[in-house]
Amino acid sequence: MIRVAVAGAAGRMGQMVCAAVDGADGLTLTGRADPVLDTAVADVLADADVLVDFTRPDTALDNARAALAAGVHVVVGTSGFDMEGLREAARSSQAKAFFAPNFAIGAVLMMKFAAEASRVMQRAEIVELHHPAKLDAPSGTAARTAELMAGDVPIHSVRLPGIVADQEVVLGDVGQTLTISHRTIDRTSFMPGVLLAIRRVADLPESPTVGLEHLLE
Ligand SMILES: NC(=O)c1ccc[n+]([C@@H]2O[C@H](COP(=O)([O-])OP(=O)(O)OC[C@H]3O[C@@H](n4cnc5c(N)ncnc54)[C@H](O)[C@@H]3O)[C@@H](O)[C@H]2O)c1
């Protein structure tokens, strides 16, 4: 049994992760940390093998640091935090860290196809669309997509009610465009990726590992 604690357990993603862990074979939910639940991350680490963090850009790194310092592996889904800080913390810990800007398989494929297309077509721009409560812009997925693509790729951020997490990569060339589009219908789309990361984080050859694609290959 892998013992799992969730940081941000009362949030939109955290609640889903708790339910997914609860229903998964070989995993047991041992802690729910969230200020809303009056439980700090420090209170759940002693009973956990893995901490999953879906919190805020300004708290995710501190949570990850606390987990790694306590010898607890950490799976981070929060976007917009300082990756260099995570790299530093991972260097001085036996415990492993994993971060994915997007845990949905379709988004991982979108990033892969966009990277491939950018090596052939002249120019590209990214439009990312999210719900208005999202704190960071551009999204972690858009930033990562641009990083993987060739050339300088501008990102446009849209925040509107009714949207979960969508992205379009539009590529242009002589007399044509190509649009690669991913739409998140429901946050359940992220759960298979989160469960996979929880199961694999302890055995990662590299820490931190960034991107779900590394667990799928
Ligand atoms: N990687 C992915 O696939 C993916 C998918 C969706 C969302 N996200 C990211 O996940 C993060 C959370 O998104 P959300 O929509 O669930 O947000 P949310 O606001 O619904 O939930 C965040 C929760 O974190 C709690 N929190 C704040 N500080 C905390 C701390 N120090 N310790 C523990 N909990 C704390 C809040 O009280 C809140 O309940 C965001 O950064 C979002 O961009 C990533």
Q: pLDDT of 38-87, one tens digit each?
A: 999 999 999 999 999 999 999 999 999 999 999 999 999 999 999 999 99
With a Cβ cut-off of 6 Å, ligand 1 is lined by: 7-8, 10-14, 33-36, 41, 54-57, 59, 63, 77-79, 100-103, 134, 165, 190
Indicate which residue of 131, 134, 156, 214 is catalytic. Answer: 134
Indicate which residue of 130, 131, 182, 214 is catalytic. Answer: 130
User: pTM above 0.75?
Assistant: yes
What is the predicted pLDDT for the residue at 70? 98
CB atoms inside a 10 Å sphere around CB 83? 13
Question: Could you tell me the pLDDT band of residue 217, with boundaries at 50, 70 and 90?
Answer: confident
What is the predicted pLDDT for the residue at 17? 98
Q: pLDDT of 44-53, one tens digit each?
A: 999 999 999 9
Active site residue 130: yes
Whole-number average pLDDT of the chain = 97
Q: DSSP H helical segments within the chain, as ranges?
A: 12-22, 41-44, 60-69, 83-91, 105-118, 140-148, 191-200, 213-216
Q: pLDDT of 182-209, one tens digit each?
A: 999 999 999 999 999 999 999 999 999 9
What is the predicted pLDDT for the residue at 124? 98
Question: Could you tell me the pLDDT band of residue 140, with boundaries at 50, 70 and 90?
Answer: very high
